[in-house]
């Protein structure tokens, strides 16, 4: 005999023993308590018997009614729990679908930024744009700045703030330079611009430009 069968028989034996003990306590060893109740009932006069029967029937009806109320209450609770479960599952599927859509957008955005900025070198990039316009850059200063912790790109990208000093430049050339910087498809954006006049001329100025870009964290 297998160990499972032995364990099953043991459990059955324990259950039968418990049921026998409960039956003995309720009805007596030889059902003497039932016999006592029956004898007592038959010793009553007809009116008392009727009252006892009415009380028993009323008690049984109340018990049945209570059990039915409990049953329907539990059934209603189960239905409510099922409805809540199905609603939660539907909401979870919707959230999962939305997450997958947004995750796909995020991956595409990350891949696009990475593609356009992976080989970006700030100083050579600005010098190339300036050279094409006949502009001289007096100085370039870079500073890497981490993205905000709640930004989903924070683990893969970081900002680069670049300060450019452009001396003796006309307003049209300055504007052309800024436009070409933002049109370079390198995710470069002008953050700040300061223009100061030069002594002895009204056509040329000194400019300080702060530009924001991105670098891939390797």
Q: How far apart are CA 126 and CA 112, in angstroms?
A: 21
The answer, yes or no, to whether residue 144 has pLDDT greater than 80, is: yes
Least confident of 21-25, 62-66, 106-110, 172-176: 21-25
Residue 182 near residue 190, CB atoms below 8 Å = yes
Tens of pLDDT, residue by residue over 8-60, are 666 567 667 776 776 666 556 666 666 666 666 666 677 776 776 777 777 77
CATH topology of domain 122-216: Alpha-Beta Plaits (3.30.70)
For range 91-118, the mean pLDDT: 83
Q: Given pLDDT bands bounded at 50, 70 and 90, which one contains residue 81?
A: confident
- Indicate whether this model's pTM tops 0.85: no
Residue 188 near residue 181, CB atoms below 8 Å = yes
Higher pLDDT, 134 or 69: 134
Residue 205 near residue 196, CB atoms below 8 Å = yes
Q: Where are the domains of the chain?
A: 3-76, 122-216
For range 94-120, the mean pLDDT: 83
Q: How far apart are CA 209 and CA 206, in angstroms?
A: 10
- The pLDDT score that the predictor gives to residue 157 is 83
């Amino acid at each position: 005999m297998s160990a499972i069968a032995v364990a099953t028989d043991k459990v059955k034996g324990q259950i039968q023993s418990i049921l026998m003990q409960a039956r003995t306590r309720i009805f007596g060893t030889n059902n003497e308590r039932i016999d006592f109740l029956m004898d007592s009932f038959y010793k009553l006069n007809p009116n008392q018997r009727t009252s006892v029967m009415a009380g028993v029937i009323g008690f049984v009806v109340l018990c049945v009614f209570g059990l039915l109320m409990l049953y329907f209450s539990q059934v209603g609770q189960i239905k409510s729990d099922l409805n809540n479960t199905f609603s939660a599952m539907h909401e979870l599927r919707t959230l999962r679908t939305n997450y997958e859509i947004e995750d796909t957008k995020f991956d595409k955005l990350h891949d696009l930024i990475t593609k356009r900025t992976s080989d970006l070198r700030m100083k050579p990039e600005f010098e190339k744009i300036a050279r094409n316009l006949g502009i001289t850059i007096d100085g370039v200063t870079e500073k890497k700045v981490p993205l905000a912790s709640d930004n989903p790109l924070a683990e893969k990208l970081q900002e680069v703030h670049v300060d450019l000093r452009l001396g003796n430049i006309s307003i049209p050339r300055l504007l052309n330079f800024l436009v070409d910087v933002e049109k370079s498809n390198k995710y470069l954006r002008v953050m700040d611009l300061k223009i100061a006049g030069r002594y002895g001329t009204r056509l040329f100025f000194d400019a300080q430009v702060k530009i924001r870009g991105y670098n891939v964290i390797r």
